[in-house]
């Protein structure tokens, strides 16, 4: 990656880290502004999340007509989704189609991991070091994803286990054959909930190790009605606009309600929860506007779901164990197809590791207390070092050589989730402090990329070459993000939103609550000459 004539690192206007939904659209947008761009991607293909998460049953739990790009009218008109919720292979095909259609691949360097990024103050450029060499760029854009850095707990004895181990977020591309295999699976978040029914179908035996029971709402997936797809496409821009205005970030045709559960009668509550349950999916959390604000209201919704679990699971003791106690929604709600039913199968066992944690992994299996569960393979559905994990694994150094990891030691600090003070010309797509994981990721990504694109276009036309976050704007934003979260029930449990799933990670609520408010704020900041940023 060196200019052979001068022996200096190859120079670009922008370097983008990651070739998932965010990185690819950034490349397209910046190329459209006339910038030279290089994208680095660690994987051997594009797709990010959808490249890596190939576990059995992987699919998106936001509906396919909403979980897709809107930047190209032709693309959104021509692409045909086949199911209400797209599978991982279908989403990956879509991303690959986009990469090809917009001729993006030629600027993506695959199998290249970015290891370091250092801002050279005198040259006003980023020097980006990869495992294949170094380049430099005026802008460094982190499109590294919120859930891209897998987390495998450090369980004693794991290295002596004689069978294979897998992580749902790093699933082998050739797939795994579990027939005649006794599988132990740790983790019952979205990845566990999706993969458990599939693994149970195939494996000889499945032992599920559950630390915290999870709330799962039925997906009611089905083939996408062609008439409905045509109907949405006929009004796609209106449909997308509605998407931006709902506080859940999705549900254009079935928005979150503004009604207060605290003002509803018991019959109205029951009817509303039943209606949302029958509709399926994450819409359940949109039943009432005070569901994440009022602990009593939340208890009612939680009780409703526990009732459903008991209707499905035949053994009352297993049903009890599968019934969560925490606030519903404070860990991300799961969307399932046959999850609870799976625990009625003869070949599935549920082991409570909430009260008695895993003691160790042995050569032959997993030991909990005095009991050793013999298994041939272990699946870790144990999630991610979310939102900051991928960034903290890159040695990012800003003004004066200051390390971002050190700056964020007590928790991430950003302005709008887009940038952090002291790191000029560095943008983060869906960074901590932006709605990201609490919105619909693809529109959230597009909103960020468009904002950054507009900002860079403004700087170029005004002859400006440096943008940095003002310290006071960052401090105020961090306080504001926390205040919003503290007014809700979100901080009440050990979720990955808080970093609580990774031992030693600071407990800070990372996403911004409310996509519509956030978009309005970003628009206002831009309209006021990038208020809160210092441009020079
Ligand atoms: P997750 O929600 O963080 O779930 C991890 C699971 O592993 C939890 O049950 C957790 O228990 C358990 N666990 C973690 N460390 C453990 C340990 N040391 N010992 C025992 N158990 C441990 O991860 P995920 O299921 O991969 O999902 C992460 C996020 O990715 C989701 O919330 C969602 O946003 C996204 N996702 C979306 C989809 C979809 O669209 N359908 C699918 C998959 C993932 P505790 O609860 O006790 O911590």
What separation in Å is there between the alpha carbon of 92 and the centre of ligand 1? 21
Say how many C-beta atoms besides its own lie within 10 A of residue 184's C-beta.
27
CA distance 150 to 173: 16
- Residues 291-317 have a mean pLDDT of 98
DSSP-derived letter for residue 256 is: P
pLDDT recorded at residue 2? 66
CA distance 25 to 222: 29
- pLDDT of residue 178 exceeding 70: yes
CB 332 within 8 A of CB 383: no
DSSP one-letter string for 11-44:
EEEEEEE--SHHHHHHHHHHHHTT--EEEE-SSS
- The number of the ligand 1 atom at minimal distance from the alpha carbon of 211 is 47
- pLDDT of residue 507 exceeding 60: yes
CA distance 141 to 146: 14
Least Cα distance to 103 among 32, 1, 15, 40 occurs for 32
From 158, 185, 190, the mutation candidate for ligand 1 (largest count of ligand atoms within 8 A of CB) is 190
Residues near ligand 1 with C-beta < 6 Å? 59-61, 147, 153, 168, 186-192, 194, 211-212, 332, 335, 353, 381-384, 437, 494, 496, 501
Q: And the tokens for 299? A: 């208890």
Residue 87, Cβ density class (10 Å: 0-12 exposed, 13-18 middle, ≥19 buried): middle
What separation in Å is there between the alpha carbon of 172 and the centre of ligand 1? 19
pLDDT recorded at residue 3? 58
- The number of the ligand 1 atom at minimal distance from the alpha carbon of 332 is 32
Least Cα distance to 440 among 217, 258, 255 occurs for 255
CB 446 within 8 A of CB 70: yes
What separation in Å is there between the alpha carbon of 339 and the centre of ligand 1? 15
Q: Is the pTM of this model over 0.95?
A: yes
Widest CA span of the chain, in angstroms? 78
Which residue bears the tokens 């490349």? 27
Rg value, the chain, Cα: 23
**Residue having the nearest C-alpha atom to atom 12 of ligand 1:** 187
DSSP-derived letter for residue 257 is: P
What separation in Å is there between the alpha carbon of 189 and the centre of ligand 1? 4
- Residues 314-328 have a mean pLDDT of 98
Residue 344, Cβ density class (10 Å: 0-12 exposed, 13-18 middle, ≥19 buried): middle
- pLDDT of residue 466 exceeding 80: yes
What separation in Å is there between the alpha carbon of 500 and the centre of ligand 1? 11
pLDDT recorded at residue 246? 85
- pLDDT of residue 437 exceeding 70: yes
Question: Helix 515-527 and helix 441-461: axis angle, to 10°?
Answer: 0
- Residues 219-246 have a mean pLDDT of 96
CA distance 257 to 250: 12
CB 210 within 8 A of CB 188: yes
8 pLDDT band, cuts 50/70/90, is confident
- pLDDT of residue 13 exceeding 60: yes
In sequence order, the 6+-apart residues with CB closer than 8 A to the CB of 107 are 27, 31, 37, 38, 39
4 pLDDT band, cuts 50/70/90, is low
- The number of the ligand 1 atom at minimal distance from the alpha carbon of 503 is 18
CB 465 within 8 A of CB 124: yes
What separation in Å is there between the alpha carbon of 501 and the centre of ligand 1? 8
Q: And the tokens for 44? A: 């051997």
CB 525 within 8 A of CB 532: yes
What separation in Å is there between the alpha carbon of 360 and the centre of ligand 1? 20
Q: And the tokens for 227? A: 């008439």
Tens digits of residue pLDDT in 31-62: 999 999 999 999 999 999 999 999 999 999 99
- Residues 306-317 have a mean pLDDT of 98
The backbone region for 283, taken as left when phi is positive above 0, alpha when psi lies in -120 to 50, beta otherwise, is alpha
5 pLDDT band, cuts 50/70/90, is low
Burial 200-235 (b: 16+ CB within 10 A, else e): bbbbebbbbbbbbbbbbbbbebeebeeeeeeebbee
From 21, 382, 389, the mutation candidate for ligand 1 (largest count of ligand atoms within 8 A of CB) is 382
CB 46 within 8 A of CB 20: yes
């Amino acid at each position: 990656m060196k200019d052979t004539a001068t022996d200096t690192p190859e120079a670009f206007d922008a370097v983008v880290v990651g070739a998932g939904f965010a990185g690819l659209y950034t490349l397209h947008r910046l190329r459209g502004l006339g910038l030279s761009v290089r994208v680095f991607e660690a994987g051997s293909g594009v797709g990010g999340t959808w490249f890596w998460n190939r576990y059995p049953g992987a699919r998106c739990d936001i509906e396919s007509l909403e979980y897709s790009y809107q930047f190209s009218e032709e693309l959104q008109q021509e692409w045909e989704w086949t199911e209400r919720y797209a599978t991982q292979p279908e989403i990956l095909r879509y991303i690959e189609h986009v990469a090809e259609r917009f001729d993006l691949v030629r600027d993506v360097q695959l199998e290249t991991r970015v290891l370091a990024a250092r801002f050279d103050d005198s040259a006003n450029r980023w020097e980006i070091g990869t495992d294949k060499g170094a380049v430099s760029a005026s802008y460094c854009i982190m499109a590294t994803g919120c859930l891209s850095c897998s987390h495998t707990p450090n369980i004693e004895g794991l290295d002596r286990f004689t069978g294979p181990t897998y992580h749902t977020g790093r699933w082998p591309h050739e797939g795994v054959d579990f027939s005649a295999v006794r599988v132990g699976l740790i983790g019952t978040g979205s990845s566990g909930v999706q993969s458990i029914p599939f693994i149970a179908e195939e494996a000889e035996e499945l032992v599920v190790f559950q630390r915290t029971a999870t709330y799962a709402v039925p997906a009611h997936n089905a083939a996408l009605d062609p008439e409905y797809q045509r109907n949405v496409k006929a009004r796609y821009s209106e449909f997308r606009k509605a998407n931006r205005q709902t506080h859940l970030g999705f549900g254009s045709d079935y928005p979150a309600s503004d009604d207060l559960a605290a003002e509803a009668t018991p019959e109205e509550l029951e009817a509303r929860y039943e209606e949302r349950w029958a509709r399926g999916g994450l819409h359940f959390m949109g039943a009432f506007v005070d569901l994440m604000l009022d602990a009593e209201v939340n208890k009612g919704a939680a009780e409703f779901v526990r009732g459903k679990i008991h209707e499905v699971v035949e053994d009352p003791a297993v049903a009890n164990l599968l019934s969560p106690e925490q606030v519903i929604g404070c860990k991300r709600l799961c969307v399932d197809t046959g999850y609870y039913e799976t625990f009625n199968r003869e070949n599935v066992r549920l082991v409570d590791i909430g009260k008695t944690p895993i003691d160790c992994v042995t050569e032959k299996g997993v030991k909990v207390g005095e009991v050793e569960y013999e298994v041939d393979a272990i699946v870790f559905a144990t999630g991610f070092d979310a939102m900051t994990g991928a960034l903290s694994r890159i040695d990012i150094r800003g003004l004066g050589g200051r390390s971002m990891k050190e700056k964020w030691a007590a928790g991430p600090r950003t302005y709008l989730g887009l940038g952090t003070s002291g790191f000029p010309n560095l943008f983060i797509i869906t960074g901590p402090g932006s709605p990201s994981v609490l919105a619909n990721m693809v529109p959230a990504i597009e909103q960020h990329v468009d904002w950054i694109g507009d900002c860079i276009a403004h700087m170029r036309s005004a002859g400006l070459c440096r943008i940095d976050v003002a310290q006071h704007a960052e401090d105020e934003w961090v306080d504001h993000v926390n205040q919003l979260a503290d007014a809700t029930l979100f901080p009440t449990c050990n979720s990955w939103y808080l970093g609580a799933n990774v031992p030693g990670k600071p407990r800070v609520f990372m996403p911004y609550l409310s996509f519509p408010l956030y978009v309005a704020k970003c628009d206002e900041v831009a309209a006021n000459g990038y208020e809160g940023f210092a441009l020079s």
